[in-house]
């Protein structure tokens, strides 16, 4: 029994769409916190807005990339799909490793320089929040991309 494999370009597109939705929510929530929050929430919101903006750029690049690649002459051959699947899986696992670093860095910031500075404490936990999401996001999608 051989489970059917889903189209890698649709997978990449849906991955980017989910990241885009997260980035929109992050930027909206982050900007609102910057305007209406106290020092802690301004720090937290600054990270959400910043990371959300970067995520949006990455997602838009991913969408464009999938659209372009889906038109390549060999885009719909099993060999190319397998290769791209392996590439995307590798990128997700590398990102997953970086995400661990973000979470640790954010925690360190919150607990050290943020100890007496509410803005930096908020920024630190903001990094943990964004890094934590990406940690789960990258891990789950890497696992979903079965061999």
Interacting residues toward other proteins by CB under 8 A? 1-7, 9-10, 13-14, 17, 63, 66-68, 70-71, 76-78, 81, 140, 144, 146
Question: Does the CA dihedral 85-90-91-96 come out positive or negative?
Answer: positive
Question: Closest CB to other proteins among 3 and 116?
Answer: 3
Question: Closest CB to other proteins among 71 and 112?
Answer: 71
In eight-state DSSP terms, residue 74 is T
User: Smallest gap, in angstroms, from Cβ of residue 7 to other proteins?
Assistant: 5
How many C-beta neighbours within 10 Å does residue 118 have? 16
Q: Could you tell me the maximum CA-CA distance found in the chain, to the nearest angstrom?
A: 60
1's enclosing H/E stretch is none
HSE toward the beta carbon, residue 41, CA cutoff 13 A = 10
User: Smallest gap, in angstroms, from Cβ of residue 48 to other proteins?
Assistant: 24
- Residues 63/16, Cβ–Cβ less than 8 Å: yes
User: Smallest gap, in angstroms, from Cβ of residue 56 to other proteins?
Assistant: 16
Question: Closest CB to other proteins among 9 and 41?
Answer: 9
Question: Closest CB to other proteins among 89 and 113?
Answer: 89
User: Smallest gap, in angstroms, from Cβ of residue 4 to other proteins?
Assistant: 4
């Amino acid at each position: 029994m051989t489970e059917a494999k889903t189209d890698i370009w649709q997978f990449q597109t849906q991955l980017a769409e989910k990241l885009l939705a997260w980035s929109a929510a992050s930027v909206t929530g982050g900007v609102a916190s910057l305007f209406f929050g106290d020092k802690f929430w301004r720090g937290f919101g600054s990270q959400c807005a910043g990371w959300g903006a970067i995520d949006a750029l990455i997602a838009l690049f991913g969408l464009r990339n999938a659209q372009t690649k889906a038109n390549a002459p060999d885009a719909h051959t099993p060999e190319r799909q397998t290769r791209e699947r392996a590439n995307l899986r590798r990128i997700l696992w590398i990102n997953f490793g970086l995400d661990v670093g973000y979470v640790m860095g954010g925690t360190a910031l919150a607990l050290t320089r943020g100890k007496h500075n509410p803005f930096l404490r908020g920024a630190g936990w903001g990094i943990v929040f964004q890094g934590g999401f990406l940690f789960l996001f990258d891990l789950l999608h890497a696992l979903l991309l079965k061999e």
